[in-house]
Amino acid sequence: MDSDIKDKLLFPRKDASVFMGREDIKAADEYCKAYISFLNTAKTEREAVSAAVALAEKEGFIPWKKGMKIKSGDKVYFSRRGKAVVFCTIGKKSFASGLSIVASHIDSPRLDLKMQPLYEDSGMAFFDTHYYGNVKPYQWTGIPLALHGFIVREDGRELAIQIGEKPDDPRFFIADLLPHLAEEQMKKPVKDAVPAENLDVLAGLNAAPGESGTGAVKLNILRLLYEKYGITEKDLVSAELSVVPAFSASELGLDRSMVGAYGQDDKVCAYPGLTAFLSVKEPEYAACLVLADKEETGSLGISGMQSAFFPNFINELAEAAGESANAREVFSNSFCVSADVNASWYPLYKEAFDKYGDAKLNHGVILFRYWGQRGKENTNDADAQTVAALIKILDEADILWQTGEGGKVDAGSSGTLSRFFTSLDVPSIDLGVPLLSMHSPFEGAAKADIYMAHRAFTAFFKRN
Ligand SMILES: [Zn+2]
């Protein structure tokens, strides 16, 4: 067959190392250096909001206040309790023409401290935890951990805390049973081997000065917290304290082709979304970047995508645009790319993956229309027009892209933010980065795919 016809008929998978030129590969490498430093400053959603706002303010973004007027080129943002944030650059077209939205989430699986977390057993003080998001408990034992959080003291003062990140900081850990005594444990199914109630963090061993007996070690931990932060056991009730891996993000592989880090789901899409958004200064359609919280637990809560904070904000912008636009009209004219990760094919677990349909590392961004078990349950299943419109944008910008199925049919399930935008009548489709070891304390992604995500979102914000 004529090779021209063959090229036309087939849609083969392309490898980034073939598709990308030397310059592009170098650019991806440079790009990921900044991504790695972003990851190291943004392990929790609050830290990600602070880091994103700091970068945006440097570009002239200001906090939105109700009553402000807006015009083309204006740059505003709205932070919901410091846990979710929406940035908007007003476009050249009327606000009623709709928005270009890129939405990702900035919360990641972790272990949260319970409301009354401190207890003592056998002369050891522990922080009692309740896991956040879908984790495999056994992965959290025997690794260095850090404590990140946000506290509102009884006197009203707000404090951000971080213990375990500086080189001379103490780390924390969750002990596992030694293999010598684990004969019974090793017979259990993996999901039962480490019960979630055993994911308690060892906080210390020393008794408070002049104290002895039961409770003296717990008291000492409270004394140390009081001396450093002025907080009491009661302040822990309202505090958001999370245990996250203490690892730093780094390059992976002898060829440095990947990035390894905690929390790449979904900062591996949030960061490219942010850099793309900030690079498009004068968009045709108003550009909107959503960094949402609570995706890992169902997008509920005040800072989750099921809260009304996003439509409320857009409604205020529509009013401020001074046209007869209302949020409903703005939404139905908009286009949303839900930027989330998807599973990457891995040859050592072939049994879980779809050999022909799953995405591969180093093969570009993944376009996916649906996810879900039991017949695409709870999924967006993007319509043909939306999918075709995105493909056109990607192809015109020479983006390396692939499709992904998220594993074999009914092998498991997940979800993205896409469905919450379609609930607002915004056409929406998922586009993201393939990830290895998703939801583990250390996830891997390919630099080429991360850079392609930046380029793809940039092309999307530039649509006309
Ligand atoms: Zn996730």
Contact 241, 159 (CB under 8 A): no
**Alpha carbon of 129 to ligand 1 centroid (Å):** 19
Distance from the alpha carbon of residue 50 to the mean position of ligand 1, in angstroms: 21
The backbone torsions φ and ψ at residue 207, rounded to the nearest 5 degrees and listed phi first, read: -80, 155
Least confident interval from 52-61, 232-241, 365-374, 417-426: 365-374
Tell me: the pLDDT tens digits for 285-300?
A: 999 999 999 999 999 9
Q: So what's the pLDDT on residue 271?
A: 98
Average pLDDT, the chain: 96
- Averaged over 39-63, what is the pLDDT? 98
Taking the centre of ligand 1 as the mean of its atom positions, its distance from the CA of residue 149, in whole angstroms, is: 20
Per-residue pLDDT reduced to its tens digit, 255-274: 999 999 999 999 999 999 99
State the SS3 of the chain: CCHHHHHHHCCCCCCHHHHCCHHHHHHHHHHHHHHHHHHHHCCCHHHHHHHHHHHHHHCCCEECCCCCCCCCCCEEEEEECCCEEEEEECCCCCHHHCEEEEEEECCCCEEEEEEEEEEEECCEEEEEEEEECCCCHHHHCCCCEEEEEEEECCCCCEEEEEECCCCCCCCECCCCCCHHHCCCHHHCCHHHHCCHHHCCEEEECCCCCCCCCCCHHHHHHHHHHHHHHCCCCCHHHHCEEEEEECCCCEEECCCCCEEEECCHHHHHHHHHHHHHHHHCCCCCCEEEEEEEECHHHCCCCCCECCCCHHHHHHHHHHHHCCCCCCHHHHHHCCEEEECCCEEECCHHHHHHCCCCCCECCCCCEEEECCCCHHHHCCCCCCCHHHHHHHHHHHHHCCCCEEECCCCCCCCCCCCCCHHHHHCCCCCEEEEECEEECCCCCCEEEEHHHHHHHHHHHHHHHCCC
Q: Which pLDDT value is given to residue 374?
A: 87
Query: What is the per-residue pLDDT for 326?
Result: 85
What is the Å distance from ligand 1's center to 176 Cα? 25
Q: What is the pLDDT of residue 373?
A: 81
Whole-number Å distance, alpha carbon 105 to ligand 1 midpoint, is 9
Alpha carbon of 439 to ligand 1 centroid (Å): 6
For residue 392, the CA-to-ligand 1 centroid distance in Å is 28
| Distance between Cα 340 and ligand 1 center (Å) | 8
Q: Flag whether pLDDT at 413 surpasses 80.
A: no
Tens-digit pLDDT profile for residues 94-115: 999 999 999 999 999 999 999 9
Question: What's the 22 CA to ligand 1 centre distance in angstroms?
Answer: 32
**Domains in the chain, CATH or no CATH each:** 3-108+262-461 (3.40.630.10), 110-245 (2.30.250.10)
Span 301-328, pLDDT tens digits? 999 999 999 999 999 999 999 876 788 8
- From 91, 99, 461, select the one nearest 277 (Cα to Cα): 461
The model's pLDDT over 148-201, given as tens digits with 9 standing for 90+, comes to: 999 999 999 999 999 999 999 999 999 999 999 999 999 999 999 999 999 999
Q: How far is the CA of 107 from the centre of ligand 1 (A)?
A: 8
| Distance from residue 337's CA to the centre of ligand 1 (Å) | 17
Ligand 1 centroid, distance to 228 Cα (angstroms): 34
Tell me the CA–centroid distance for residue 264 and ligand 1, in Å.
Answer: 9
Query: At residue 394, what is the residue type?
Result: L
Model confidence over 131-149: pLDDT tens digits?
A: 999 999 999 999 999 999 9
CA of 321 to the centre of ligand 1 (A): 35
- In terms of Cβ atoms closer than 10 Å to its own Cβ (0-12, 13-18, 19+), residue 177 is middle
Convert the pLDDT of each residue in 324-375 to its tens digit.
Answer: 678 889 999 999 999 999 999 999 999 999 999 999 999 999 999 998 788 8
pLDDT at 16: 93
Cα–Cα distances (Å) from 28 to 286, 420, 443, in that order, read 27, 31, 18
Report, as an integer, the average pLDDT of 71-76. 96
Q: What is the pLDDT of residue 12?
A: 85
The pLDDT score that the predictor gives to residue 317 is: 95
Picking from 39, 41, 82, the residue whose alpha carbon sits closest to that of residue 63 is 82
User: What spacing in Å lies between the alpha carbon of 108 and ligand 1's midpoint?
Assistant: 7
pLDDT on residue 323: 72
Pull the structure tokens for residue 402.
């692939």
Kindly tell me if the per-residue pLDDT of 440 is higher than 90: yes
Cα-based distances in Å from 287 to 64, 103, 165 = 15, 11, 35
Q: 415 C-alpha to center of ligand 1: Å?
A: 8
Say whether pTM exceeds 0.95: yes
Q: Residue 220 — pLDDT band, cuts 50, 70, 90?
A: very high
What pLDDT does 450 receive? 98
Q: Are 252 and 268 in contact (CB under 8 A)?
A: no
Q: Which residues surround ligand 1, an ion (CB under 5 A)?
A: 265
